[in-house]
Structure 1
Amino acid sequence: MNSRAFTQKMSLIIPPYERNNMNIFKQLMLSLTLALASMNAAQAATAVTLYKSPTCGCCEKYVEYLRENGFAVKAVNESDMDAVKKRYGVSHIASCHTALIDGYVVEGHVPVNAIRKLLKEKPALTGISAPGMPMNSPGMGEMKKGTLTIYAVPKDGKAPYVFSVE
């Protein structure tokens, strides 16, 4: 017996009100499954390992900023930040903390918009940097749109170039 014949026989056996209830039940189960799947996807935060000086207050503020924006941050106190920057190839464009995010180095107080752009576009870079300690950056003070230059750090050792202006 093929599936069509089986369905026709079942429709003779199952009263119409039961068939409607079964359809509603199937729709509810499908909706529930999709809702749970989307919740799990939304809850999967991007992991960040952030190296910082144990006494740096602005680094703590930046960690809070990342967490508030959906990143799962593991903050690591490091006494020799120069060695960290050298290890990850950002000593020439340094700031106070160094983060590792999805295979990229994010140096300094980089806004999440630039990080999300980096993660979405996946360019062939070592990472991005907001060098120094700009006062208009996350963790340092009030952000002023369009005033913070974020630099791309090429893998080949070439000079950094503008990645975005936030």
Structure 2
Amino acid sequence: MYVLTRFTALLLLLASSSVWALPLVTLYKDANCGCCQKYVAYLREHGFKVEAFDRADMGRIKQQYGVTRVASCHTALIGGYVVEGHVPVTAIQKLLQQKPAIAGISVPDMPTNSPGMGEMKPGTLTVYTIPAAGEMPRVFSVE
């Protein structure tokens, strides 16, 4: 009985800890973009809590977060990183687990095989790092 009680207490502690919680997603998007809304739904389906904000100044948002060279239709902030465009959850999870010293990741443009844009085809979507000024984007992963 004592072992069971300690085990239950440990489970409750772990469940209440932020170790198990996904970070909040703050996502900026154009109000008229349907694929952005599909991407928000995709993130929510995978357990993320998303606060989405319609913005008329997306160019300024992209400039603020340094994604003009790897831009897509929406910009998200997740766990201290910038996530630009239709990035698969698998790449976001890798980013959050590995915690590399980069600004974030991007799927530039709006590829048809990305989440929110149509049928995803595993192994065909290149995710890039968001480059610092003067640097070139590098491949972060292929999802």
Equivalent position SS for 2:100: coil
Greater relative contact order structure (CA < 8 Å, 6+ sep): 2
Indicate yes or no: 2:4 matched with 1:28: yes
Equivalent position SS for 2:62: helix
Matches within 5 A, 1:105-144: 105-144=82-121
Matches within 5 A, 1:137-156: 137-156=114-133
Maintained 8 Å contact 1:124/1:154:
no
Instruction: Report which of the two structures shows the higher radius of gyration computed on alpha carbons.
Output: 1
Are residues 95 and 118 of structure 1, via their aligned partners in 2, closer, same or farther at CA, if it must alter by over 3 Å? same
CA distance in 2, matches of 1:159, 1:79: 28
Matches within 5 A, 1:4-83: 24=1, 26-41=2-17, 44-83=21-60
Maintained 8 Å contact 1:151/1:164:
yes
Are residues 156 and 91 of structure 1, via their aligned partners in 2, closer, same or farther at CA, if it must alter by over 3 Å? closer
| Structure richer in helix, relative to its length | 1
Equivalent position SS for 2:49: strand
Runs of 5+ unmatched residues, structure 2? none
| Poorly superposed stretches of 4+, deviation over 6 Å | none
1:5-41, Cα deviation, whole Å (9 max, x unpaired): xxxxxxxxxxxxxxxxxxx2x2232122122123224
1:106-145, Cα deviation, whole Å (9 max, x unpaired): 0000001111111111111111100000000001111001
Identity of aligned residues (%): 59
Runs of 5+ unmatched residues, structure 1? 1-23
Equivalent position SS for 1:163: strand
CA distance in 2, matches of 1:46, 1:155: 24
Q: Which amino acid aligns with 1:58?
A: C
- Give the superposition deviation at 1:148: 0.5
CA distance in 1, matches of 2:13, 2:133: 40
Per the normalisation by structure 1, the TM-score is 0.80
Per the normalisation by structure 2, the TM-score is 0.93
